A and B are shown apart, each in its own frame.
Chain A
Amino acid sequence: MDHVTPSDYPSAELRSLDTLWFQVGGTVCNLACSHCFISCSPTNHTHEFMTLKQVETHLEDAVALGVKDYYFTGGEPFLNPEMEDILAATLRVGPATVLTNGLLLDSERCQRLGALAGSTEYSLDLRISIDGYSAEANDPIRGEGTFERILTGATRAAAAGLNPVMTVTEVHRDNVTSEGRQRFFETLRDRGIERPRLKILPVFQIGAETERSGAYESWQQLAKDDVPEDRWDHLQCSTSRMATDQGVWVCPILVNEPQGRMGQRLADTLDSFPLSHQACWTCHVHGVSCRT
């Protein structure tokens, strides 16, 4: 692994910039989940909140490039005091999805978000993270008492007309079986969410997850000759970029790698990117898509 250069790895072209991500909550979070792939916590300021002004600059660039949709993550996006203004600005130019832990979804906020969703022709999708269908499964990962608080937030969102997509990682094997999914749906229906929505994501063995489950093996890495038939169309980096307070990164996964930063503005980041990180291997093997 010493003295590697980008040419040792296959390279993923940006085929079309369909999705623009915003690390709008930085790496600041009101939780410190044990599987967080970028180790977010209340004191992690690796990336800071983005300002409305920073987001607007990128939105302007994105409109010129024909971006199709926008995703917001963190950290916890709703810790950002400008988050609702940022969403309003975004929904003027395209659909928005927010990845949240649900803890800050109080009734007033849900009402405001519901009104915002009703005032635009684009979809406002909330994705709420949860790690199991019981407190016993969820709380050890996300924190004591979070299971109830997450479901309370999800229920308020649903009541305000924002039927959230509950997003689960494969941390627990139970989550991905059809019985596990059924239990999720039942749990959500019991809370009055009539049309429960669920999305399952693989776990990245980077960040806090390395302490929880062990890091990558050395063979879990893409080699120059690994180019599949469809090229890299299944990778997010072929259709998206990630903006943070410090510039534009190749993808949401690599924001803790300075080498993942491709430039200051979107126009600086339209080139291809070497798939040199081990997380690229996970994306390739699992065909990771953060889409609903």
Chain B
Amino acid sequence: MSQRIPEDLQKKGLRRRANADVDKLTAHRGMATWGETLVPLGDFRQAVRKSGKELTSAERLVAVKDYLEASSDDTLIEGPFSKIIVFGGVYSNSFALHALLDEAQSRRPDAVYCLGDLGGFGPNPETIWPLLTESAVRSIQGNYEESLAGGRDDCNCGYADPRDNHFAEISYSYTARNCSSEFKRWMGGLPKRRRVRVGQRELLFIHGSPRRINEFLFFSSTSVPFLETLLDQERCDGILCTHTGLHWHRRLPSGRDVINVGVIGRPANDGRTEVWYSVLNDEGDRLSVEFLPLAYDYQSLASAMRREGLPDVFVETITSGWWTTCLEILPARERAASRF
């Protein structure tokens, strides 16, 4: 809602500003800005002191305790298991999903979980549906499933940058056009969270974060105190998420775990064509967390994407291992590790 200034007025503004600059440099001597008005600094400070609350130490403890109150969750607990495979972000990559299911056959886990974002980026979204159901993969909804099942006109990925959103729109409109209403309805029937016991530990599975389906939990932009608080509020021993496309694991000072399982739909912006999934093992007093690279027939995926007319920049990511789109969401550290 900014007021657009016509060019001729802007030029006038320049001349005025020559004097205004001097005023601006000295205007605040002994004065404060209160809203739009200059007032004596002392008056501002006095008004500030009168505003707001000042709780006692005891009241502050109560306020913080109330704020941190645990949330209730009646999700049924699955398991207990001793070994599971967990992956996220299929992005319509049926070739990688095939490879993952082959791996699962040889590794023989007790269960296989998918943390959502079945569509987007890749070609022919419907092809992954039978693979998931026939191999009894236990899935949860990502923002993609929520949006497709709810008939939203965007993926609700949570990007803030117009370039990120531009490519997200291309992916979403292609996927929405190429999914049957039956597939979308099935997506809408998936749960949004699962609780899974691995050994003694109760783990919460969600897509983005326990608070928001499209929250980005990157390693370098998510503080440890924040994660400890989430685990306290959710009363669980670990959280597994995806959504960012980059896998990471933190063992917290409390001994609990937060694991972003990454995605199998596209490479992890690391210059490798493999994608990543995770294997969790109960080892008695500790949980072992392993990220494994998954090689698959990426050349066939690239050909299928070209056939479907998907953008060349998407194909480039598949064949080079480097992200070419949706980069603006990355925090400084993750962006510094990118090629683009």
Contacts and interface: CB of A to CB of B under 8 A. Distances in A.
Interface of A: 16-18, 27, 32, 34, 38-39, 41-46, 62-69, 93-95, 117, 121-126, 140, 143, 161-163, 169-171, 173, 178, 181, 195, 197-200, 202-203, 205-208, 210-215, 220, 246-248, 256-265, 267-271, 282, 285-286, 289, 291-292
A95 B35 contact: no
7 contacts: A94-B223, A122-B333, A123-B218, A198-B161, A206-B36, A264-B52, A264-B54
B2 A202 contact: yes
A14 to B, nearest CB: 8
Interface residues of B, number: 70
Contacts of A143: 21
A261 B63 contact: no
A265 B2 contact: no
Given A66-B226, A93-B225, A210-B36, A205 B3 contact: yes
A117 B334 CA distance: 12
Nearest to B4: A173
Nearest 7 Cβ contacts at the A-B interface: A66-B229, A94-B223, A267-B60, A258-B47, A213-B3, A203-B2, A123-B331
Contacts of B338: 195
B28 interface: yes
B51 A258 contact: yes
A246 B225 contact: no
Interface stretch (B10-18, B191-199, B312-320): B10-18
Contacts of B186: none
Nearest to A279: B35
B230 interface: yes
B2 A123 contact: no
Contacts of B328: 197-198, 292
A220 B52 contact: no
Contact of B20 (A200, A211, A265): A211
Given A67-B223, A199-B161, A203-B2, A162 B332 contact: yes
A43 B29 CA distance: 6
B336 interface: yes
Contact of A123 (B27, B41, B332): B332
A2 to B, nearest CB: 16
Given A42-B25, A195-B338, A197-B328, A268 B48 contact: no
Nearest to A185: B163
B266 to A, nearest CB: 19
A282 B3 CA distance: 12
B228 A66 contact: yes
A94 B225 contact: yes
A33 to B, nearest CB: 9
Contacts of B327: 195
B45 A246 contact: yes
A28 to B, nearest CB: 9
Interface string B203-222: 00000000100000011111
A256 B14 CA distance: 26
B76 interface: no
B307 interface: no
Nearest to B229: A66
Nearest to A259: B51
Contacts of B222: 68-69, 95
B41 to A, nearest CB: 7
A94 B45 contact: no
A268 B52 contact: yes
B206 to A, nearest CB: 15
Given A162-B332, A195-B340, A261-B52, 10 more contacts: A27-B28, A68-B221, A69-B223, A125-B332, A163-B332, A173-B4, A178-B162, A197-B328, A207-B36, A257-B34
Contacts of A205: 1-3
Nearest to A44: B28
Contacts of B340: 195
A191 B334 CA distance: 22
A123 B221 contact: yes
A263 B10 contact: no
A215 B333 CA distance: 39
Give the most central of B4, B53, B163: most A CB within 10 Å: B53
A43 B26 contact: yes
Given A171-B2, A197-B328, A248-B52, A93 B33 contact: no
A193 to B, nearest CB: 12
Contact of B220 (A93, A121, A208, A271): A121
B225 A67 contact: yes
Nearest to B14: A140
B64 A65 contact: yes
A268 B54 contact: yes
Contacts of A62: 225
A202 B4 CA distance: 12
Nearest to A195: B340
A181 B45 CA distance: 42
B1 A285 contact: yes
Contact of B5 (A38, A206, A213): A213
B63 to A, nearest CB: 5
B224 interface: yes
Interface string B221-257: 1111110111000000000000000000000000000
Contact of B33 (A64, A117, A207): A207
Give the most central of B50, B59, B223, B338: most A CB within 10 Å: B223
B241 to A, nearest CB: 14
Contacts of A207: 33, 36
